[in-house]
Amino acid sequence: MEIRTTGYGHPDAEKLTAEVQQEYVRRYGDVDVTAMHPDHFDPPDGLFVVAYLDDEPVACGGWRAKDGDGVGLLDGDAELKRMYVVPAARGRGLARAVLRHLEVTAEQAGRTRLVLESGTEQPEALALYASEGYLPITKFGVYRDHPQSVCLGKAVRA
């Protein structure tokens, strides 16, 4: 597997993020309406990567800088977004590799904690994050009041 920094607006990133939106439709009945823009993932305040197997895009994810908002987010946070692995490539550790890459790059950029919003209908994702040390945090974001929302965080710098 090769992880490439592509940016959120790259065609391969757009293809995979469209697929993850359809995954949300299957699991929750609608797309994620969280505001997203390619420049949210421009270094040094963000990063978006695509993972490739045999030059085919099979996984993606990114982080964007988020600072304290009084509703769960703290100064120094980086929000994980659009973590996804195509169904045919699941079970090979690709999501874990992308996640660890994003953790390292966020820390290198001076971020102190990674945060994310997932949901009860994504048990595989929740299990991955728990196994990597992510713990429940105060809910934030568009879905903070939704009963299926699960917000997690992990310090990446002491």
User: Is 158's pLDDT higher than 60?
Assistant: no
pTM greater than the 0.85 cutoff: yes
Q: Is the dihedral of CA 148, 37, 116, 94 positive or negative?
A: positive
For a pLDDT cut of 70, what percent of the chain falls above it?
Answer: 99
Q: Which domains, and CATH codes, for the chain?
A: 2-155 (3.40.630.30)
Tokens 């590799």, located at residue? 97
pLDDT digits (tens, 9 = 90+) for 41-92: 999 999 999 999 999 999 999 999 998 887 889 999 999 999 999 999 999 9
pLDDT band, very low/low/confident/very high, at 114 (cuts 50, 70, 90): very high
Can you give the pLDDT at residue 95? 98
Cα gap 90→72, rounded to integer Å: 31
- CA angle 146/118/35 to nearest 5° reads 75
The helix (H) or strand (E) run that includes residue 101 is helix 94-108
